[in-house]
Amino acid sequence: MTAADLIPARFVAQVVDYPPEAGPDGDDWVAALPRLLDGLLADWRLEPVGATLWGRYSVVIPVRDAEAAAHGDAPPSAMLRVSFPRYAGAGDHVALRRWAGRGAASLLRADPHRHALLLERLDHTRDLRPIPADDACRVLGELHARLAIPAPPNLTRLSDRAAVMAETLDSAPDVLPRRFIDQARGLLRELTRSPSLDDTVVHTALTSRKVLAGQRDPWLAISPEALAGEPAYAMAPAIADRPHELGTGLSVRATLRRRLDIVCETAGVDEGRARAWTIVREVLAAISVGHRPAPETSARISLAVAICKAMND
């Protein structure tokens, strides 16, 4: 099997149209990916075993130590993750090293220049999606509490990211009611006055899909898109998670507020700041998809509006 055989065709079809962000565009990156994988497997003396997993930005390949495999039937022992270069994931190796397996997959090796991580092998067939949403929110909150440790100086800061957010809000098109954009702008100004804004390592994308079953712990977080920030900023993905389970009519608000209560209580996070950050992040999410022709765009904007309304009531 060649490195090219490890790359799913559907992943390639998805990534080729990505614009450049922190490196080449999707077309150039995908073209170079087989050579990149060959280099990583050789340099780290790994042998691929099993089917490649993939998401929006990464391929994840089950691997084992090639030398051990040559002397017997060594089982898969780790996962090689190689990602399309993005600013959001640039600090993942820093955060994972800082957490040292506490609440998250253990980092075994990293090559930030090649956007490659060698990670503890978890059970990719078991995440939080099958369990009831309220129970999933408790797990997410508990993980946030474990992951909330002092941030190192070499992690991207929320204050820096907030400056970009402010520029985006100032020039935002009317993809959702203007009052929400204006509110988000005002909330962002208030929130960023906090002296502890950049103090904590936070997993900014923790949802049911980003938690996998482990052997040493029942549940461990993956793919952190980490920042040096504040825990309240990180609550929004849990609240917006599994939108198909929100219900209809008046039950939507009740479900969203219950999720907010659960995740904030178990994470030990101030609910008012979590509500405010959720409004900011949902407005920004709507803006980010507002120009796309994709079928899910209107659904994502509608979800953002529903969440903003619920956080305001």
CATH of the domain at 16: 3.30.200.20
Last residue of a domain, one of 121, 143, 171: 121
Q: In the predicted model, is pLDDT for residue 295 greater than 80?
A: no
Provide the percentage of residues in the chain whose pLDDT is more than 90: 89
| Same domain flag for 85 and 181 | no
Contact yes or no for 111/40 (Cβ under 8 A): yes
d(CA 44, CA 66): 9
Residues 121-165: pLDDT tens digits? 999 999 999 999 999 999 999 999 999 999 999 999 999 999 999
Buried b (16+ CB within 10 A) or exposed e, 100-117: eeebbbbbbebbeeebbb
| Same domain flag for 95 and 153 | no
Structure tokens at 187: 């909330």
**Residue 68 binned pLDDT confidence (cut-offs 50, 70, 90):** low
pLDDT at 75: 57
pTM greater than 0.95: no
Last residue of a domain, one of 97, 121, 145: 121
| Same domain flag for 169 and 95 | no
pLDDT at 293: 58
Buried b (16+ CB within 10 A) or exposed e, 240-271: bbbeeebeeeeebbebbbebbebbbebbebee
Q: In the predicted model, is pLDDT for residue 172 greater than 70?
A: yes
pLDDT at 77: 84
| Same domain flag for 145 and 265 | yes
**Residue 304's CATH number:** 3.90.1200.10
**Residue 2 binned pLDDT confidence (cut-offs 50, 70, 90):** confident
| Same domain flag for 197 and 132 | yes
Number of domains in the chain: 2
| Same domain flag for 178 and 262 | yes
| Same domain flag for 117 and 133 | no
Residue with token string 């909150």: 141
Its domain, for residue 90, covers 3-121
| Same domain flag for 150 and 61 | no
pLDDT at 116: 98
Where is 154: in which H helix or E strand?
none
Residues 244-268: pLDDT tens digits? 999 999 999 999 999 999 999 999 9
Pairing of strands 107-111, 78-83: unpaired
pLDDT at 280: 98
Contact yes or no for 246/256 (Cβ under 8 A): yes
DSSP three-state, residue 229? strand
Last residue of a domain, one of 76, 103, 121: 121
For residue 56, give every residue at least 6 positions away whose Cβ sits within 8 Å of its Cβ, in sequence order, or none. 14
**Residue 78 binned pLDDT confidence (cut-offs 50, 70, 90):** very high
| Same domain flag for 84 and 33 | yes
| Same domain flag for 264 and 303 | yes
Q: In the predicted model, is pLDDT for residue 178 greater than 80?
A: yes
Over residues 178-206, the mean pLDDT reads 98
Residues 11-57: pLDDT tens digits? 999 999 999 999 999 999 999 999 999 999 999 999 999 899 999 99
Average pLDDT, the chain: 94
